[in-house]
Amino acid sequence: MEKVLSVEGIGKKFRDVQAIRDIHFDVHAGEIMAILGPNGAGKSTTIRNIMGIIIPDEGTIRFHRSKDGSIPRDKIGYLPEERGLYKNVPIMDIILYFADLKNYPREKAKKRALMYLEKFDLAGKENKPIEQLSKGMAQKVQFIASIVHEPELLVLDEPFSGLDPVSQELFQEEIKKLADQGTAILLSSHQMNLVEALCDRLFMIYRGQKVIYDTIDEVKAKYANFKCTLKGHNDAEKLGKLPGVKQVEVQNDRTILYLDEGIQPATWLKSLPEDLDIKEMSMDRISLHEIFVRIATGRWEVDNLD
């Protein structure tokens, strides 16, 4: 896939605090790339450096489609973490203003804006000012304003925060659709489940440094061991002594067995004793969410991960 953006070794210091250090990653056309990390990890600082809102102390940011390598402002869509729009201006005026700033034709912008307003359940509200809408609706308008000009690169900083599940799904669908149409998408989030479901690759950042940078599948294969969830009456101590079981967690009549690294599920299943009480059984990998929590709470050493 064609590279649209390359971040090469950027670092930024605020006073004495090194906010980010030696950050490297690429974003390709048609893919959704996630920057993951707990609050304060450096996600927004990285994004603001890319957007030229702050200038990195070191490293380079390359926009491959820009002739002189500088930021192609009218080809980028940006939804900042700090949300807000002009409060007392009609929605349509705001969307058209942002499209105008991106040199996008007015009539085309109007058509697209109406289409998206309808899609996001805001049809007929184009002449209402933001102050008359709910917070979630305002967020939808801001999202529309950031994609109305058909950007080649879309940068979304925490796009799902503050949204209800239905709106989250709507946003997810739309982001996927944009990627399918060839837009390179970079999004930051701390909601692992959403990233897991949506993104192709991820860059996990912790305390301003890279922790993981890979495709979602690779990450799961590499870091997420299997776990087996059993429903039935069994002795937890006995289960703990089974081969390949690292840890046992009991939740009511449900028992979760965390397995060792490198365990082959089929082989391991064969090794189970016949007298095991199994009413239900499922086998899956540890979720990204669990990996994330473990990293964020310091239960995994950052240096051991790479």
> Interface residues with other proteins (CB under 8 A)?
48, 51, 53-54, 73-74, 76, 78-80, 82-89, 93, 97-98, 100-102, 142, 145-146
- Other CB atoms within 10 Å distance of the CB of residue 128: 15
Both tokens assigned to 70: 């500088």
**Nearest residue (CB) to other proteins, 97 versus 300:** 97
| Location of structure tokens 């990233």 | 195
Minimum Å gap between C-beta 78 and other proteins is: 4
First to last CA, the chain: 25
Minimum Å gap between C-beta 201 and other proteins is: 23
**Nearest residue (CB) to other proteins, 122 versus 145:** 145
Minimum Å gap between C-beta 71 and other proteins is: 9
Minimum Å gap between C-beta 156 and other proteins is: 12
**Nearest residue (CB) to other proteins, 94 versus 257:** 94
Question: What is the rounded CA–CA span in Å between residue 45 and residue 80?
Answer: 11
Phi first, then psi, for residue 226 (nearest 5°) are: -80, 155
Give the helix/strand (H/E) hosting 91.
helix 91-101
Both tokens assigned to 157: 């900083």
Contacts (Cβ under 8 Å, ≥6 apart) of 182: 29, 30, 152
**Nearest residue (CB) to other proteins, 25 versus 78:** 78
Minimum Å gap between C-beta 155 and other proteins is: 8
Question: What is the rounded CA–CA span in Å between residue 66 and residue 239?
Answer: 59
Minimum Å gap between C-beta 97 and other proteins is: 5
**Nearest residue (CB) to other proteins, 55 versus 236:** 55
Phi first, then psi, for residue 285 (nearest 5°) are: -90, 160
Spatial contact of 248 and 257, defined as CB atoms under 8 Å apart: yes
**Nearest residue (CB) to other proteins, 97 versus 258:** 97
Minimum Å gap between C-beta 70 and other proteins is: 11
Residue 35's nearest CA partner among 26, 43, 45, 25 is: 43
**Nearest residue (CB) to other proteins, 84 versus 273:** 84
Both tokens assigned to 125: 């509200």
Looking at the chain, the number of H-run helices and the number of E-run strands are 11, 13
